[in-house]
Structure 1
Amino acid sequence: MIQLKTLGVFMKNCIAVANLKRICFLAVLAALIFSGCLKKSYTYRNIETETACADKGGYWYNGRCWKGFEDSQLIAEEVDAYVALAMREAGNAIMEINGISYPVVYANAYPLSGREVEIVAVYQTDSQIATIAIQMRIKNLEEGKTSKASAMYIDHDVSKPHDENMEFVVAPGTAQALVISIESLQIAFQGNIPAAPGTEELNFKFKLTDSLTGMGNSNLTVEGTQAHLSGTLGTKTYAQIQSLIANHPEVDTIVFGHINGSINDEVNMHTGRLIREQGYTTKLLSDSDIASGGVDLFCSGVERIVEQGAKIGVHSWCCVENVPAESVPADHPAHQYQLAYFT
């Protein structure tokens, strides 16, 4: 047995996700790879029309031609189909342990540094929820490349809040990663965790996909005229709000509990749109604790109620070419959807 607080850097990012906003893994990956090549200028000079900007490969916004910006925001007409497909794909995700398949209930990828990235996959057996965490070099994230990585088994769901003094069974191991696709984020892993005190030898296989990394693990329960929401927001949350609207017309208020953020900001904005269009009140209790994308979603309520003692955590988003929001020009197109959402 080992105390969680002794695990060190290897697990810090997936455990401290409450302090992070969901940022597109591929965008972060690109930023880390190309961080030494930041552009000093964000716009093309002497381009005065949208047609000329398109010919240059730029993005026309606010009367200027912007370099290196790709608009990947989902539009309202596309989001239902996007969520439905992601839910199906995530529902089929499995973790194979010693030849037995178990459902993956949460997965994500976190940059640890300019050189490494950590992938966590939480899976559920008949008797427990556990985590496989893998740490690999960013330089090995090349399509078609197979590489070695380190692995770790934790007999706990690292995506959920916990007491820092709780003790867990932790066992190190090794893994092999095959990058199937970078564009759609598909990486196949297989590995071995040798037997250790508290756990048997584990041979594992699973595949990380973009659908999994954006899913989140939010929980929504209905009590009378209120729905109680907690967890990490993502694609799953949008589907939960859809179901709430369709099946519980008596609900008029969404109560936010502990929400550490969103791991799919594009979908989270549309979840907020559903809440606003339905006319829901959003509410924080005295022991509510929300941060990042949780604050975005709370703000979508037509009426917003905050009891004294509630905790609200905010921060700027990240990033454009490894540059945080506060350092990006105020009229940059990367700001447009946040501005539209809050105005």
Structure 2
Amino acid sequence: MLGFGAFALSGCARLRAGNVPVVQEGFVVQPEPVAQDNMTGFLAEGDTIYISGSINADTVAGFEAVRSSNPDANKLVFLEADGPVGSDAAFGFARAVRAAEFSTHLRNDSTISGGAVDAFLGGTQRTMEEGATIGALRGADAEAHAGFVTEMTGGDAYARFAGKFGGRRRPRPMTIAEIGAMGIVSANTGEVIIAN
């Protein structure tokens, strides 16, 4: 396997006075234990940062730690990721990805849902390979979600789709036609769908 540039984990935040996570040596350090299934993992290789796990309040700190250790990185590849749809954590992470001018990508074996879809929308260019799975979930605040999706994609089609057809507890897999029509990605070139 190729050498990996950096690795970071960020956990679920329980922010109280005196209980603030900090970044140390590429890790987001929590003063209290965090459930493993509530963590975000980052792995850097060359110009790519791979992400998996759950988007949470510490994800931005983990991303920034890995990004600062890998200044040549400009692409974020989602492997298997989820998180609360329409959450401040997902919105904040998507905005951090956009501010860093990263593109986002889904491999043919990638699976994302909920807040990870929101985070994926932060990419300056959003691409996916045939076989990737995007699962739509309904959010609690449809208006806030629509505003965010409009900010990221120029329209609220995905937010309206998720609000009407997204699963309540389980993600509803989207078809390739739905993905293109909802502005998650916008044009088809061969086996890869590429946004403008």
- If the TM-score is normalised by the length of the shorter chain, which range does it land in? 0.5 to 0.7
Superimposed CA distance per residue, residues 99-119 of structure 1 (whole angstroms, 9 cap, x where no aligned partner): xxxxx232xxxxxxxxxxxxx
Q: Does 1:260 align with 2:67?
A: no
User: By how many angstroms is 1:266 displaced?
Assistant: 0.9
User: By how many angstroms is 1:264 displaced?
Assistant: 8.7
User: In structure 2, how many angstroms separate the alpha carbons of the residues matched to 1:276 and 1:287?
Assistant: 24
1:284 maps to a residue whose letter is L
Find the counterpart in structure 1 of residue 31 from structure 2: 92
User: By how many angstroms is 1:263 displaced?
Assistant: 8.1
Q: Does 1:316 align with 2:123?
A: no
Larger strand percent? 1
TM-score of the two chains, using structure 2 as the length reference: 0.59
Q: What is the aligned-residue RMSD (CA, Å)?
A: 2.7
User: By how many angstroms is 1:237 displaced?
Assistant: 1.1
1:257 maps to a residue whose letter is L
User: In structure 2, how many angstroms separate the alpha carbons of the residues matched to 1:227 and 1:90?
Assistant: 20
2:34 maps to a residue whose letter is V
Matched residue count:
130
User: In structure 2, how many angstroms separate the alpha carbons of the residues matched to 1:245 and 1:224?
Assistant: 11
Structure 1: any 5+ residue segments left out of the alignment? 1-80, 94-103, 107-121, 123-158, 160-215, 320-324, 326-334
Find the counterpart in structure 2 of residue 250 from structure 1: 72
User: By how many angstroms is 1:233 displaced?
Assistant: 1.0
How has the CA–CA distance of structure 1 residues 286 and 276 changed in structure 2, closer, same or farther, with 3 Å as cutoff?
Answer: same
How do 1:17-32 residues align onto structure 2 when only pairs under 5 Å count?
Answer: none
How do 1:106-117 residues align onto structure 2 when only pairs under 5 Å count?
Answer: 106=35
User: By how many angstroms is 1:85 displaced?
Assistant: 5.6
Q: Whose Rg is larger?
A: 1
User: In structure 1, how many angstroms separate the alpha carbons of the residues matched to 2:62 and 2:85?
Assistant: 15
> Do 1:233 and 1:259's aligned partners in 2 also have CA atoms closer than 8 Å?
yes
How has the CA–CA distance of structure 1 residues 243 and 218 changed in structure 2, closer, same or farther, with 3 Å as cutoff?
Answer: same
> Do 2:139 and 2:145's aligned partners in 1 also have CA atoms closer than 8 Å?
no
User: In structure 1, how many angstroms separate the alpha carbons of the residues matched to 2:87 and 2:72?
Assistant: 28
Q: Counterpart of 1:86 in 2: which secondary structure?
A: coil
> Do 2:110 and 2:133's aligned partners in 1 also have CA atoms closer than 8 Å?
yes
Write out the 4+ residue segments of structure 1 that deviate beyond 3 Å after TM superposition.
Answer: none
> Do 1:233 and 1:268's aligned partners in 2 also have CA atoms closer than 8 Å?
yes
Find the counterpart in structure 2 of residue 292 from structure 1: 114
Q: 1:226 aligns with which of 24, 48, 51?
A: 48
1:237 maps to a residue whose letter is T
Find the counterpart in structure 1 of residue 147 from structure 2: 340
1:105 maps to a residue whose letter is V
> Do 1:233 and 1:264's aligned partners in 2 also have CA atoms closer than 8 Å?
no
How has the CA–CA distance of structure 1 residues 296 and 273 changed in structure 2, closer, same or farther, with 3 Å as cutoff?
Answer: same
TM-score of the two chains, using structure 1 as the length reference: 0.35
Structure 2: any 5+ residue segments left out of the alignment? 1-14, 23-27, 151-196
How has the CA–CA distance of structure 1 residues 250 and 275 changed in structure 2, closer, same or farther, with 3 Å as cutoff?
Answer: same
Find the counterpart in structure 2 of residue 170 from structure 1: none
How has the CA–CA distance of structure 1 residues 90 and 262 changed in structure 2, closer, same or farther, with 3 Å as cutoff?
Answer: farther
User: In structure 2, how many angstroms separate the alpha carbons of the residues matched to 1:251 and 1:235?
Assistant: 22
Identity, % of aligned positions = 24
Q: Counterpart of 2:58 in 1: which secondary structure?
A: helix
> Do 2:85 and 2:139's aligned partners in 1 also have CA atoms closer than 8 Å?
no
